[in-house]
Amino acid sequence: MAEDLSIIPGTKAEQYQSLIPQIKGLLEGETDLVANMANVVAALKEQFGWLWVGFYVVKPSFAKAPKGEDELVLAPFQGPVACTRIKKGRGVCGTSWAQAKTLIVPDVEKFPGHIACSSLSRSEIVIPVMRDNDVIAVLDVDSNEYNRFDETDQTYLEKIVSLLQF
């Protein structure tokens, strides 16, 4: 794989439909999770230009926390620097992890406990990455516009995270 990404204008669905086969090509034959996450967020950022797009991975917490308690830890992302650790049930990411479901937040200030990594963030979508029945990571996307994400994003982003090989 050595080609540039083909970035297209069009409806949101058309943009995802153009991107998905290209992401499949990027992931083909590669099983390293970090490498694959890095290319997925780079491709999404390049096509959509969102404020922030990145993964948080479920990992064992610092020794200070209660034993056996996992946390979300910052993983490949594109955008401004971000908070590194999120506890289960905290913020949009920790809630998506706890509930094992996609969350769409049209106005982040109205989400109780939202974690503001960037003051520019206005809306957000978080998609859990599943292995068997466990959440092993989440994909978090932030926009500097209100109400930027809907069911179309949910459908295609869930498809994209299901392509991750590891």
> Site residues for ligand SME, window 75-134 (CB under 6 A)?
82-83, 86, 91-94, 114-115, 117, 121, 124
- Distance in Å, CB of 4 to ligand SME, minimum: 27
- Distance in Å, CB of 19 to ligand SME, minimum: 21
- Distance in Å, CB of 49 to ligand SME, minimum: 16
Residue nearest ligand SME by beta-carbon distance: 91
Question: In the chain, what are the helix, strand and coil shares in percent, each to the nearest 5?
Answer: 35, 25, 40
* Token representation of residue 5: 């990404």
Q: Is the dihedral of CA 51, 47, 147, 76 positive or negative?
A: negative
Closer of 22 and 40 to ligand SME (Cβ): 40
Contact 122, 111 (CB under 8 A): no
Three-class HEC string of 38-63? HHHHHHHHHHHCCCEEEEEEEEECCC
The pattern of x and - marking residues 4 through 43 that bind ligand SME according to CB under 6 A reads ----------------------------------------
Using CB under 6 A as the binding rule, whether residue 142 contacts ligand SME is answered as: yes
Using CB under 6 A as the binding rule, whether residue 52 contacts ligand SME is answered as: yes
* Token representation of residue 27: 């992931």
Q: Which residues bind ligand SME (CB under 6 A)?
A: 52, 82-83, 86, 91-94, 114-115, 117, 121, 124, 140, 142
